[in-house]
Structure 1
Amino acid sequence: MNHPAHWTLSHALALHARTRPEHAAVICEERRTTYAELHRASNQVAHALRAAGVGAGSRVAYLGRECEHYYLTILACAKAGAVIVPVNWRLTPAEVDHILKDAGAELLFVDEEFRSTADQVLAGGSLQGLRAVVRLDGTGAGGRPDRGAGLRAWCAGAPDTDLAASAGPDDAVLQIYTSGTTGLPKGVVLAHRTFFTLPQATKDSGADPDEGIDWRAQDVSLVSLPGFGIAGIGWFLHGMCAGATNVVMPMYSAQEAVRLIEREQVTITFVAPAMLQMMLDERGVSAATFASMRKIAYGAAPISEGLLHRCLEVFGCQLAQIYASTEAGSVAVCLPPSAHRAGSVLLRAAGRACPGNEIKVIDREGRVLAPGEIGQVCIRTPAHMLGYHNRPEATAATLVEGWLHMGDAGYLDEDGYLFLCDRINDTIIVAGQNIYPAEVEKQLSEHPAVADAAVVGLPDARWGEAVHAAVVLRPGERASPRQLLLFLRGRIADYKIPLAYHLLDSLPRNPSGKILRRAVREQLRAPGPGPEDRAGAVPAPAAAGQAPAGPA
């Protein structure tokens, strides 16, 4: 096989299926799928996709939780030359409809759990290009529900032989939707090369892999973040490309995560800080609980030094912080394990550029700033996106001469460590889940009593940040925080609904009329910003010890 820089996801899977066929590729809810089984099953689905008229560049959507069927669908699309579009299962039918239309999805795979959402979308009749909807689940022996039975029935009769290569490393394979500051979801298109560049650059540079994020063939990797975001799907695909065993959680639960780490002898994982806190708070955990772990990567939200110190004491393994984005595709910046020392000033840093990547900080005119000067963070990485789907202007604004403009303000120190100060684009991150203020503000503004609204994130001890809404009511109108909460339900996903509502007389704006969210944050932090009602809530997960979904 040729050099990894020229590989695709299909190359990687075929290699592992040939050289270690009986090695477990995916473990999910007691079901174990070997690399040989994953290869054959994805071949069969790829042939069925081709037979259904799905060709190179076609968009195939997936609405469902993470499981082995999700990953074989991703790999089948890669083999057929199609582009997988994972859909956030937390979204409302209207939000799902927008994504499917924007992507131009030709086929939709859907879990039984989310069939009602799909039915509501289809009832709208707006998806003219959709060829078929494939139910993943079905009925097995004895009339019992059978995960994957619908998928197997759909591709029954299709061969499981290898397909001729239909994609190269620079061809699109994945389209992830992540909203921008306008509140309109944009499809970030990533290529096969995204999932090979960091491991290869680390090897080519001679850098110590222990000082970064590395995936090994002997690893047992816990995939605990949702697969509709780059953190979940990217973590799996990097692990798969390395030949690791991937232990997949359809829904994060701290209790279940601890159980899986002990039972499967997990060696590596990526989590949001809130998930670390929850695992440490589980009854009976100790250093012995995590004895199999060699490395924990964390990121997607701020982390307190107190929590970091506790992690250093209990987990007893290497800790590495990640700074990235969907547009970056892979890990862009890493705070290495050697920097994780109690009392070190570097614990406040995001890290240094990973091998093959570069960082610069620029001012408003695009000039590179000296160490210590705060400006906009830019990253150059070979893993970067191909662009935003059908949005050339947005692509040109974000990806400038090979540099990704990250939307964050920060500075570099003399040693090249990046320190973040604020998010330029005002994105709110709740337990690793991105929430975009403009989207929530738009829905709030549709309430007949609301004259003006600003949505910001404020520090929260449990989730890192919580969503707060500052609301100005129309003269003579009344609306309680609870009424505002109930108005939002069903319009946006529950995790986007504000935790608290602050009724103000006016909102701070600049001369051009733009809301000054930083000033709003400062006002809400100060004593007595106005009546507050915590009528909303960071959505309580289905069971104690669960966290909201991870990064988008």
Structure 2
Amino acid sequence: MTTSDGEAKGEGIHAWHRQAVNDPNPQTLTATSAGHARRRPDHLAVICEGREVTYAELHRRSNQTAHALLAEGLRRGARVAYLGRESEHYFEIALGCAKSGTVLVPVNWRLTSREVDHILRDSDAEVLFAEREFRPVADRLRPVLPGLRTVIEMDTPGSLADGFLDWRAGHAETDLDPGTGRDDAVVQMYTSGTTGLPKGVVLAHRTYFTLMEHMTRAGLNWYDWHPEDRSMSCFSSLHSAGMGWFMVGFAAGCTNVVMRMFVPEEAVKRVHEDGVTVMQAAPAMLRMLLAEPGATPDAFASLRKMIYGGSAIAPPLLRQCMERLDCDLAQMYAAAESGSVVTCLAPAEHTPDNPRLGSVGLPCPGNEVRIVGRDGEVLPAGRVGQIHARTPALFIEYWHQPEATREALVDGWLCMPDAGYLDDDGYLFVLDRLDDAIIVAGQNIYPAEVEMALAEHPAVAESAVVGVPDQRWGQAVKAAVVFHTDQRATARDLMVFLRGRIADFKIPTQYDFVDDLPRNPTGKVLRRMLRAQA
């Protein structure tokens, strides 16, 4: 599959990818859906809870959804919100939005009512699809949302989508041409809100095509997709990583295995029973998957590739993945605003003795990365600063926030929220979010480095490190630690263990031993909550 120098042999890359490189017509989700329905109508597009949808069926159903949206009086660019769990019907709505020229606004059902309120207000959604469980939130907000003209209840007590199917019944299934191109908006994702209320990240059709186009042009095939692939993401497609994964698989014409929500036991079962071959997960999800009793070699036998990302991975967990998953491993670094992947650590780099395993790899073809100092100067290799990225998949704007957009996009470069450095060969090492940096007596400490060191202790399952006020030094380092089942350690044990592994001033002086860590709906640890508790 992958040669030692990463060059492709031309095998296994789906014909669509080769065609996309030379296709003079702009690639859009609308055109892709029609192309699959024409070229591979009977190939399975989606499997969800045993229900199977072919590419021809997905095309017809999403056409019908698009006609129904237009019948609501929506104009091009109107926002359409979805509040519920995933299913095949969610993707019919997503493609229906693309085909009607409207913009899908996914609302994560795990968000607080305050965050849901903010997203529905901020997005100016005119239509809302909501599952019954979440309908009360919509009903409570509707009086203060004059622009919300229609609420469609997705399900009935006995069916997953009867309300939705009744709403679109009778509308045409013919193809539509919304007049949109690859640079037009198609999805508006809201950031996870780790530091405040979410912002609407407006993404274009190009978001879901540029990575594979540039990979193919560069002759790299480790991020390949085969016609027979079955793809699954542990990230929800209500999140940018999950939506991106689904849409790239959809663009490639493979079969997408969809879970209504991530449950580790169910994920292991789906890999085994549905024959998943390519998969995406966050490190926290990988840890949960490998802890499942059913996570045997046989359960993962179908996997040929596992992509991980979303947060730093602890070395012990990465070693465990390399030992237990008999497949290619690759790491990807991205943000919702980058539109697509910024850097990749390819499978060939995943060897036990590779010192670059701690990096997030090299910029993907077509991308650039630089490190910028406090005064805006570009820093040389080895110097720590803010990560800036330039990629053709960049987001269009923050919805209704022109000033925030200008701050995030500087001369075509995206100012990432992370601190890091490049080594002499251009590999990117991400230290942590800039907002999470701890300053002790003028010395910068990045929590992820301390957490990585703690993860090496045999009793520690995971940890989160924050800075807390200290009269003498300005801040002190505090760690919240989760132990493995039936294992324990004292604060002194951990402090002694860390000596010699990290600098003395980085070693936490305060510890909380907890059962779990606070997380946002996408699984990221909420350090701000730990700081507030402290």
- TM-score tier by shorter-chain length is 0.7 to 0.9
Shift of 1:391: 0.9
8 Å contact from structure 2 (residues 477, 507) kept in 1: no
Shift of 1:467: 8.3
Partner of 2:101: 81
Q: Is 2:154 aligned against 1:136?
A: yes
Shift of 1:371: 1.2
Q: Distance in 2 between matches of 1:427 and 1:88?
A: 28
Letter in 1 for 2:61: A
Deviations 1:4-60 (A, max 9, x none): 771111111111111111111111111111111111011011001001011111000
Q: Distance in 2 between matches of 1:464 and 1:8?
A: 41
Deviations 1:426-451 (A, max 9, x none): 399xxxxxxxxxxxxxxxxxxxxxxx
Alignment of 1:85-124 (within 5 A): 85-122=105-142
Shift of 1:263: 1.1
Partner of 2:206: 193
Letter in 1 for 2:156: G
Partner of 2:42: 22
Shift of 1:260: 1.0
Letter in 1 for 2:120: L
Alignment of 1:291-302 (within 5 A): 291-302=301-312
Partner of 1:432: none
Partner of 2:58: 38
Q: Is 2:346 aligned against 1:336?
A: yes
8 Å contact from structure 1 (residues 28, 248) kept in 2: yes
Partner of 1:60: 80
Assess, with a 3 A threshold, how the Cα gap between structure 1 residues 528 and 336 changes in structure 2: closer, same or farther: closer
Secondary structure of 1:78's counterpart equals: helix
Match of 2:508 among 505, 517, 526: 526
Match of 2:177 among 160, 164, 172: 164
Alignment of 1:325-364 (within 5 A): 325-364=335-374
8 Å contact from structure 2 (residues 387, 418) kept in 1: yes
Secondary structure of 2:191's counterpart equals: strand
Letter in 2 for 1:135: E
Deviations 1:451-471 (A, max 9, x none): xxxxx998486885548796x
Q: Distance in 2 between matches of 1:11 and 1:427?
A: 45
8 Å contact from structure 1 (residues 5, 193) kept in 2: no
Q: Distance in 1 between matches of 2:241 and 2:340?
A: 9
Q: What CA RMSD, in Å, does the superposition of the two structures yield over aligned residues?
A: 2.8
Secondary structure of 1:361's counterpart equals: strand
Secondary structure of 1:162's counterpart equals: coil
Shift of 1:120: 2.9
Structure 1: unaligned runs, 5 residues or longer? 140-144, 429-455, 471-503, 510-515, 541-546
Structure 2: unaligned runs, 5 residues or longer? 1-18, 439-446, 480-503, 526-534
Q: Distance in 1 between matches of 2:294 and 2:70?
A: 51
Partner of 2:388: 378
Deviations 1:35-90 (A, max 9, x none): 11111011011001001011111000000111111111010000000010001111
Shift of 1:92: 2.2
Secondary structure of 2:436's counterpart equals: coil
Partner of 1:487: none
Q: Is 2:416 aligned against 1:406?
A: yes
Alignment of 1:210-289 (within 5 A): 210=222, 213-289=223-299
8 Å contact from structure 1 (residues 25, 244) kept in 2: yes
Assess, with a 3 A threshold, how the Cα gap between structure 1 residues 352 and 469 changes in structure 2: closer, same or farther: closer
Q: Is 2:229 aligned against 1:209?
A: no
Q: Distance in 1 between matches of 2:133 and 2:517?
A: 22
8 Å contact from structure 1 (residues 508, 520) kept in 2: no
Q: Distance in 1 between matches of 2:252 and 2:365?
A: 17
Secondary structure of 1:290's counterpart equals: coil
Choose 157-166 or 70-79, whichever is displaced more. 157-166
Letter in 1 for 2:250: M
TM-score (norm 2): 0.81
8 Å contact from structure 1 (residues 320, 337) kept in 2: yes
Deviations 1:250-294 (A, max 9, x none): 111221111111111111011011221222222253333222111
Assess, with a 3 A threshold, how the Cα gap between structure 1 residues 507 and 263 changes in structure 2: closer, same or farther: farther
Match of 2:27 among 7, 11, 19: 7
Assess, with a 3 A threshold, how the Cα gap between structure 1 residues 202 and 464 changes in structure 2: closer, same or farther: farther
8 Å contact from structure 2 (residues 478, 509) kept in 1: no
Letter in 2 for 1:224: C
Secondary structure of 1:397's counterpart equals: helix
Secondary structure of 1:62's counterpart equals: strand
Partner of 2:300: 290
Alignment of 1:340-489 (within 5 A): 340-426=350-436, 459=451, 466=464
Shift of 1:374: 1.2
Shift of 1:179: 5.2
Secondary structure of 1:209's counterpart equals: coil
Assess, with a 3 A threshold, how the Cα gap between structure 1 residues 318 and 537 changes in structure 2: closer, same or farther: closer
Secondary structure of 1:298's counterpart equals: strand
Assess, with a 3 A threshold, how the Cα gap between structure 1 residues 390 and 94 changes in structure 2: closer, same or farther: same
Deviations 1:316-341 (A, max 9, x none): 11000010000011111110001100
Q: Distance in 2 between matches of 1:45 and 1:251?
A: 23
Assess, with a 3 A threshold, how the Cα gap between structure 1 residues 147 and 335 changes in structure 2: closer, same or farther: same
Choose 214-223 or 325-334, whichever is displaced more. 214-223
Q: Distance in 2 between matches of 1:85 and 1:79?
A: 15
Give the share of equivalent positions with the same residue, in percent.
48
Shift of 1:527: 3.2
Count of aligned pairs: 466
Secondary structure of 1:90's counterpart equals: coil
Partner of 1:174: 187
Q: Distance in 2 between matches of 1:326 and 1:427?
A: 21
Letter in 2 for 1:130: L
Partner of 2:444: none
Assess, with a 3 A threshold, how the Cα gap between structure 1 residues 174 and 394 changes in structure 2: closer, same or farther: same
Letter in 1 for 2:204: A
Assess, with a 3 A threshold, how the Cα gap between structure 1 residues 365 and 65 changes in structure 2: closer, same or farther: same
Q: Distance in 2 between matches of 1:277 and 1:201?
A: 32
8 Å contact from structure 1 (residues 5, 197) kept in 2: no
Assess, with a 3 A threshold, how the Cα gap between structure 1 residues 381 and 66 changes in structure 2: closer, same or farther: same
Shift of 1:520: 6.8
Shift of 1:344: 1.3
